[in-house]
């Protein structure tokens, strides 16, 4: 695991944490190259436990031997970018909630059939565009023991950084996928 001290906002490799928008991270043109950002040690641990692939970490210096030490050891040779709290806040545009971000590869999207194959209780999310609400719905679905989540395309991305954080990693625990069209289209 290379630990790289970041001294400027233009350091090569940190653009995934600073200049790429959520839409650019998703990469709809080449979905197999899509990324997402997981925030906080707890959420990153849940993602790693669920088999998600880490690509890079951004971590406050004090967390390298603290809250993020076990995460860093689990991530193998991925680069760990670090710097002071103020520099990282300037870089990302916000103060890191728990001092650690992890860029991860998006999984291959499941089909509706695969997502629902063994599911008995399915949550359908139609037109929910607020990331906080998406995260809360996933967290509630996990707490209620739901088996799958289907989202209409006019809903917010569950792998949006804020949705992932609000869900406390529940988006990694429940199989989910996108429905094509809206519920009214499906009812026809």
Strands of the sheet with 122-125, listed across from one edge: 122-125, 148-152, 176-179
Element housing 25 (H / E): helix 22-26
More confident residue, 15 or 106: 106
**Tokens representing residue 53 in the block:** 């692939």
pLDDT band at 12 (very low <50, low <70, confident <90, very high): confident
Residue 142 CA to residue 146 CA, distance in Å, equals: 6
The answer to pTM > 0.75 is yes
- Tell me what percent of the residues of the chain surpass a pLDDT of 90: 58
- The model's pLDDT over 125-170, given as tens digits with 9 standing for 90+, comes to 999 999 999 999 999 999 999 999 999 999 999 999 999 999 999 9
Cβ pair 58, 81 in contact under 8 A:
yes
pLDDT band at 188 (very low <50, low <70, confident <90, very high): very low
Q: Position of tokens 């991925």? A: 78
Which CATH number is 3-105's, of 1.10.10.10, 3.40.50.300, 3.30.1330.30, 3.40.830.10?
3.30.1330.30
Architecture in CATH of 112-187 = 3-Layer(aba) Sandwich (3.40)
Sketch the domain layout of the chain as residue ranges.
3-105, 112-187
pLDDT at 183: 58
Burial 83-113 (b: 16+ CB within 10 A, else e): beeebbeebbeeebebbbbbbbebeeeeeee
Q: Do domains 3-105 and 112-187 have the same CATH topology?
A: no
- The model's pLDDT over 77-106, given as tens digits with 9 standing for 90+, comes to 999 998 877 777 776 666 665 678 899 999
Complete DSSP assignment for 108-133: PPPPHHHHHTT-SSEEEE-S---HHH
Residue 177 CA to residue 165 CA, distance in Å, equals: 19
**Tokens representing residue 70 in the block:** 């076990």
- The model's pLDDT over 16-73, given as tens digits with 9 standing for 90+, comes to 887 777 777 887 656 677 899 999 899 999 999 999 999 999 888 888 888 889 999 9
Other Cβ atoms closer than 10 A to 46: 20
């Amino acid at each position: 695991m290379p630990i790289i001290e970041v001294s400027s906002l233009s350091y090569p490799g940190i653009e995934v944490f600073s200049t790429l928008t959520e839409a650019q991270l998703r990469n709809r043109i080449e979905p197999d190259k899509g990324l997402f950002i997981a925030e906080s040690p707890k959420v990153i641990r849940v993602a790693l436990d669920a088999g998600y692939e880490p690509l890079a970490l951004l971590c406050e210096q004090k967390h390298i031997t603290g809250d993020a030490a076990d995460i860093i050891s689990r991530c193998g040779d991925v680069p760990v970018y670090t710097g002071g709290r103020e520099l990282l806040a300037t870089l990302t545009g916000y103060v890191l909630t728990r001092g650690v971000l992890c860029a991860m590869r998006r999984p291959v999207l499941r089909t509706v059939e695969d997502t629902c194959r063994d599911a008995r209780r399915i949550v359908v999310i139609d037109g929910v565009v607020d990331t906080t609400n998406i995260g809360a719905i996933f967290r509630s679905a996990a707490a209620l023991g739901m088996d799958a989540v289907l989202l209409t395309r006019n809903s917010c991305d569950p792998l949006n950084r804020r949705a992932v954080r609000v869900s406390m990693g529940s988006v990694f625990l429940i199989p989910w996928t996108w429905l094509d069209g809206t519920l009214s289209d499906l009812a026809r």
